Amino acid sequence: MLRLLLFFGTNIAVLLVISIVFRVLGLEEMLTQSGSGINLGALLIFSAAFGMIGSFISLAMSKWIALRSTGARVIKEPANDTERWLLQTVKRQAQAAGIGMPDVAIYQAPEMNAFATGMKRNSALVAVSTGLLQGMRSNEVEAVLAHEVSHVANGDMVTMALLQGVLNTFVIFFSRVVGMLVDRLIFRNERGYGIGFWISSIVAQVVFGILASIIAMWFSRYREFRADAGAARLNGRESMISALSTLGRTYGQSSLPESVEAFGISGRVGAGMKKLFMSHPPIEERIQALRQG
């Protein structure tokens, strides 16, 4: 219930902030004088509905999408010692983190990776790849599991959905305002929506979308540092450093679908400007942050 209130509260706050900014900057008066006839209130509601609700639906379906897209198998009854150990480890860490027991799953993938997702802290999903189980020592696997449990305990999935919803709202809203201004002030179209609106709003949506992606990926990298720190508290700093060092051998290799990839412990690598669009920080920076912490 608290997270639903946070979701709707954020939605309302976005509408208020945009409305206040427009009044302070005089953009509302400018639109009126241009004869656009645009209803800012209606546009705000439209933008928030598409931006927020779409993000919320994606979050609500995240566990189902993750299981279907990766072919992960949830462990209902452990079939061997490894599965039994996984369940016991996640249960112990979840209790220490103060959250409900997540579903634990294994999926087939050659690279070392793991992810967590879910709409609620007390009914999340933690999944590990077969490559991770085969390539890491038990203390390193424990550290990776603690990293994913920390994501759940931090509410990172909900926070990411809220941020994405806010960004979507801004992109939809401002791209259409730009389109209307260009159509009226430059193309001198006095009624309806002309070619100037459609071209400029599409271009503006692409530009604003790129800027929004940079912001979303910055937060994604920040939450990885925070989950690493949480794993260090739950399972020991040296174990997490060791796990990251081992992970470095296949870091950047991911067979996870795009809808799940940002939630994995291993992300794609990049340099220069590409780093702005990476969901995960470089391994070296993550290890350095742990040593300094």
* Amino acid 29: pLDDT: 54
- By DSSP bridging, strand 103-107 and strand 73-74 are antiparallel
Q: Give dist(CA 235, CA 142) in Å, integer.
A: 7
Checking if the pLDDT of 288 tops 80, the result is yes
Q: What are the angstrom distances between the C-alpha of 35 and each of 29, 43, 194?
A: 10, 16, 14
Checking if the pLDDT of 195 tops 70, the result is yes
Long-range contacts formed by 278-287: CB under 8 A, 24+ apart: 278/217, 278/221, 279/217, 279/220, 279/221, 279/224, 280/220, 280/221, 280/224, 281/221, 281/224, 281/225, 283/244, 283/245, 283/247, 283/248, 283/251, 286/224, 286/225, 286/228, 286/244, 287/241, 287/244, 287/245
Q: Give dist(CA 114, CA 75) in Å, integer.
A: 15
Token pair in block for residue 255: 């067979």
Model confidence band, residue 133 (pLDDT cutoffs 50, 70, 90): very high
Which residues are known to be catalytic? Answer: 148
Of the ranges 33-37, 55-59, 80-84, 173-177, which one carries the lowest mean pLDDT score?
33-37
Checking if the pLDDT of 247 tops 50, the result is yes
Q: What is the mean pLDDT of residues 181-204?
A: 82
Nearest to 42 by CA among 172, 209, 235: 172
Checking if the pLDDT of 193 tops 70, the result is yes
Of the ranges 29-33, 83-87, 108-112, 133-137, which one carries the lowest mean pLDDT score?
29-33
Model confidence band, residue 223 (pLDDT cutoffs 50, 70, 90): very high
Model confidence band, residue 2 (pLDDT cutoffs 50, 70, 90): very low
Q: Give dist(CA 226, CA 74) in Å, integer.
A: 26
Quote the DSSP letter at residue 144: H
Quote the DSSP letter at residue 102: P
Checking if the pLDDT of 122 tops 80, the result is yes
* Amino acid 227: pLDDT: 96
Nearest to 163 by CA among 221, 225, 97: 221
Q: What is the mean pLDDT of residues 214-243?
A: 94
Q: What percent of the chain has pLDDT over 70?
A: 81
Question: Side chain identity at 20, as an amino acid letter?
Answer: I
* Amino acid 188: pLDDT: 76
Q: Give dist(CA 34, CA 188) in Å, integer.
A: 9
Token pair in block for residue 237: 């700093």
* Amino acid 23: pLDDT: 55
Contacts of 224 (CB under 8 A, 6+ apart): 265, 267, 279, 280, 281, 286
Checking if the pLDDT of 224 tops 50, the result is yes
Q: What are the angstrom distances between the C-alpha of 277 and each of 55, 228, 253, 280?
A: 19, 20, 16, 9
Q: What share of the chain is helix, strand, coil (3-state, %, to 5)?
A: 70, 5, 25
Q: What percent of the chain has pLDDT over 90?
A: 46
* Amino acid 136: pLDDT: 95
Winning range, highest mean pLDDT, from 6-15, 78-87, 258-267, 268-277: 78-87
* Amino acid 3: pLDDT: 46
| 9 close to 162: Cβ distance less than 8 angstroms | no
Checking if the pLDDT of 109 tops 80, the result is yes
Which residue shows structure tokens 């809220």?
Answer: 162
Q: What are the angstrom distances between the C-alpha of 210 and each of 14, 49, 203, 215?
A: 20, 21, 11, 9
* Amino acid 252: pLDDT: 66
Token pair in block for residue 161: 């959905």
**CA torsion through residues 13, 19, 22, 24, sign:** negative
* Amino acid 105: pLDDT: 97
Which residue shows structure tokens 């926070």?
Answer: 159
Beta strand residue intervals within 44-136, DSSP E: 73-74, 103-107, 114-117, 125-129
